[in-house]
Amino acid sequence: MAQASEQAAWNMFWEQNARGGSSGCLPHSRQAIEQAQKKAWQAFAAQISKNAKLLDLATGDGRVPAWIGADRADLECHGVDLAPSLPPAPPGVTVRGRVPMEELPFEAASFDVVTSQFGFEYGDTARVATEIARVLKPGGRIGLMMHRGDGPIVAHNRTRRAQLEWALEEKAIVAKTRQSIGTGSDLSPALPYATETAQKGLEQFGESSPAWEIPEAVRRTLLMGARAGRQFVLDTLNAIEAQAGNEIGRIKALIRASAVADDRQTIEDRFASTGIELVDAKTIEDETGNAFADFVVLTKA
């Protein structure tokens, strides 16, 4: 049940991306991280044979095949993702939603290359490894970029989770606001607590933290509600709570996935049982030297 709710949270994440808005999961060093990711994938692209057919798992917005294909117009790039709603596919990339990594809708030996960035470790890795082995041609190559439990992405998200839970659970800002509103039209009884909580969130965690953003959003909603009405306030509170809850779900999934990725020996053993062997493994760092991912290259005999 927990994994189902976390998958629903990721579905909402990509649906928001498709509409052009999302809170994201990367820390403030996002640009440096993305540059390091892009560099690693472009180096991997140099190892791919000409006119190869590539499949990217848990592709999201299709950035990995787009990065790889930028300098390799000869490649045929495809991406699949479990989410039903995805952003528009990058030029030259075919993307399909509603596709689990554990049940790929492709014939055996259909692809020369399989890739995944922060995706493989979210699935049932034994089943995903078996499916990769099935759809990959002999001699085919696999590139996996996986989370590190000790990296800045996980640390950033652990901090955000604590701040979200401070606002939603410890301070119960949404629940207490609903309670203060009750069934009447007078919204003023709820305003002092929202104002106080927003100030505490600002003082303890800073203006960029959800511990301030959430109670501040509640405070502003109450002010707007003086004109927009009680139902507007209730609807907005529901939306605030849903968005925050979905981010918590994504963070829980990320933390669990990073633990899976850190158990490298199990992953290697699962691939080895399918006839896929490790070729190379290296740490991916941002420009400041912070290791945020591991890049694993494998090949099918």
Q: Which residue has the higher pLDDT, 287 or 41?
A: 41
Q: Report pLDDT for 30.
A: 79
Instruction: Give how many domains the chain has, as a whole number.
Output: 2
Highest mean pLDDT among 81-85, 105-109, 228-232: 105-109
Q: CATH number, domain at 102?
A: 3.40.50.150
Residue 101 has pLDDT above 90, yes or no: yes
Residues 55 and 181 in one domain: no
Residues 137 and 158 in one domain: no
Q: Report pLDDT for 288.
A: 85
pLDDT in tens, 222-270: 999 999 999 999 999 999 999 999 999 999 999 999 999 999 999 999 9
Q: Which residue has the higher pLDDT, 221 or 85?
A: 221
- Quote the CA–CA distance of 39 and 70 in Å, as a whole number: 12
Confidence of residue 184 (pLDDT cuts 50, 70, 90): confident
Determine how β-strand 111-117 pairs with β-strand 53-57: parallel
Residues 168 and 142 in one domain: no
Enter the pTM of the model: 0.87
Residues 103 and 161 in one domain: no
First to last CA, the chain: 38
If DSSP states are collapsed to H, E and C, what string results for 197-249? HHHHHHHHHCCCCHHHHHHHHHHHHHHHHHHHCHHHHHHHHHHHHHHHHHHHH
Residue 9 has pLDDT above 60, yes or no: no
Q: Report pLDDT for 31.
A: 85
Residue 19 has pLDDT above 50, yes or no: no
26's CB contacts (< 8 A; 6+ apart) are 33, 34, 153, 156
Give the bridge partners for 55, in sequence order.
Answer: 78, 114
Residues 265 and 140 in one domain: yes
Domain that holds residue 221: 152-253
Residue 199 has pLDDT above 60, yes or no: yes
Q: Which residue has the higher pLDDT, 2 or 111?
A: 111
Residue 24 has pLDDT above 90, yes or no: no
Confidence of residue 160 (pLDDT cuts 50, 70, 90): very high
Residue 6 has pLDDT above 80, yes or no: no
Residues 91 and 19 in one domain: yes
Residues 128 and 203 in one domain: no
Residues 23 and 163 in one domain: no
Question: How many Cβ atoms from other residues are within 10 Å of residue 3's Cβ?
Answer: 13
Confidence of residue 61 (pLDDT cuts 50, 70, 90): very high
Residues 15 and 156 in one domain: no
Q: What is the mean pLDDT of the chain?
A: 91
Residue 16 has pLDDT above 80, yes or no: no
Residues 196 and 68 in one domain: no
pLDDT in tens, 129-154: 999 999 999 999 999 999 999 999 99
